[in-house]
Amino acid sequence: MRYYIGTFRMKDDESSDIWHDTIMLEQLGDVLSDAFLYGGELMEERSVPKDFDVMHCHVYATFKDERKAMLFQLKYPQVRPSEKIRREEYAKDLNWVG
């Protein structure tokens, strides 16, 4: 089962890789560490609108054990099931498609 955890934003420059983990933890919080505790694997997709220098990082967690996935979703009701990344749907509200 795959869940969309959230999106965090950071400046797209040479320091982005250095600060990536710190910024991700600050913006998404405990849901990331708990995803690991419940046996999830994190995946991230990055997009950068051509008019901006801010990178949007979409974070997903994939669980092999459905029971643990259900417990994770009960603890964090804001996460939503996601079978496929729908960049156009997310970008629709931002007036750009990455």
The verdict on residue 89 lying in a domain is no
The verdict on residue 67 lying in a domain is yes
The verdict on residue 94 lying in a domain is no
Give the domain range for residue 76.
2-83
- Picking from 10, 15, 3, the residue whose alpha carbon sits closest to that of residue 43 is 3
Q: Which secondary-structure segment (H or E) carries 55? A: strand 54-62
Q: What is the pLDDT of residue 93?
A: 54
The verdict on residue 9 lying in a domain is yes
Instruction: State the average pLDDT for the chain.
Output: 80
The verdict on residue 90 lying in a domain is no
As for how many domains the chain has, the answer is 1
Q: What is the pLDDT of residue 21?
A: 81
Q: What is the pLDDT of residue 60?
A: 92
The verdict on residue 96 lying in a domain is no
